[in-house]
Structure 1
Amino acid sequence: MPERTPHRIAGVDEAGRGPLAGPVVVAAVILDPARPIAGLDDSKKLSEKKREALYPLVIEHALAHCVVVVEAEEIDRLNIFQATMAGMSRAVAGLAPVAHEALVDGNKLPRDLPCPGRAIVGGDALEPAISAASILAKVTRDRLMVQLDTVHPGYGFAVHKGYPTAAHLDALQRLGPCPQHRRSFGPVGRALEQMALF
């Protein structure tokens, strides 16, 4: 009798929906039941050091993983919700071996997922595969923002990662938006309007 293929479940999560600058990063991960990873949790609850330690373990132990970067330009074109959904579909489609089911953190499923899916509110704390995806997405995005800080100095991207902190809003007023800023986000749009006046 042929051996039954195990049911492969992908966890899907994103990092960077709220920032004013930089990409939104989406990850999909299929964990290997034979190689569990201790310490997985919602990436927001883990220290940076812990996330960085877990990142290579997820890469090494997972059956499959895919990380997708959706740039600011696409976020402005589609809106942040649609850009995130598109990233989720791409991440699941990029898995090899393919997923039989996707568990997505949040309350909405992308319409064009390549397999059946379930949305799970707070899933990044409940489902290890979503926790693993949240760690890959967060670490990837944080590293990207540190790189972007050297390309666009003065905004403090390495510190606040593009989130609307007081220091970031102040830099936005002083320097105006850079190419990594999301034009469709209120504070960036207002900074552009002010620049047009002077």
Structure 2
Amino acid sequence: MKIIFATNNAHKLSEVQEMLGERFRLVTPRECGVTEEIPEEEPTLEGNALEKARYLYRRTGADCFADDTGLEVDALGGAPGVRSARYAPGEGHDFAANTAFLLKNMEQVPDGERTARFRTVIALILGGREYLFEGEVRGVILRAPDGEGGFGYDPVFLPDGCDRTFARMDTHAKNAISHRGRAVARLAAFLKERFA
């Protein structure tokens, strides 16, 4: 089954494709002729995921899903949250700049208060009906990046109960416990049940 995933991020696409398996073939908006920036202007993760999925559905009429992910740091009042991809000052999505800005804003936060959670919300439009799936993982923000893998804030996020950051995990290990992995697992279970 072909389904549009509202991302042009190759890392994210491969992570989700691996979890959904061969039964579902993910295609990008670009492959469907949607080359413009997909709007995400809502104040919540749920709102952004729905906005992106609805936009794609209006443009293509095809089954699709979109996600939005935020890193919510307790000591920063939940920031960067919905602004996670555009947290650092300036234009664009610069993972390194976002991470550096986060660490700068947390310089004075004591080790015992560096708690955070990653949260992913997926909005699926299937046959014109909307569904939401959520995944969350709690952890702490390190004082310096550790690891080269993954993307985004992976090098500074240490999940609870783990001895290595997401950036030091292979894709399979990360998907088993990550926020996106948990949300995609719920999406996959739903799709497999629907198309059993």
TM-score when normalising by structure 2: 0.30
* Bigger relative contact order (CA 8 A; separation at least 6): 1
Which of the pair is proportionally richer in helix?
1
Higher radius of gyration, 1 or 2? 1
Which of the pair is proportionally richer in strand?
2
TM-score when normalising by structure 1: 0.30
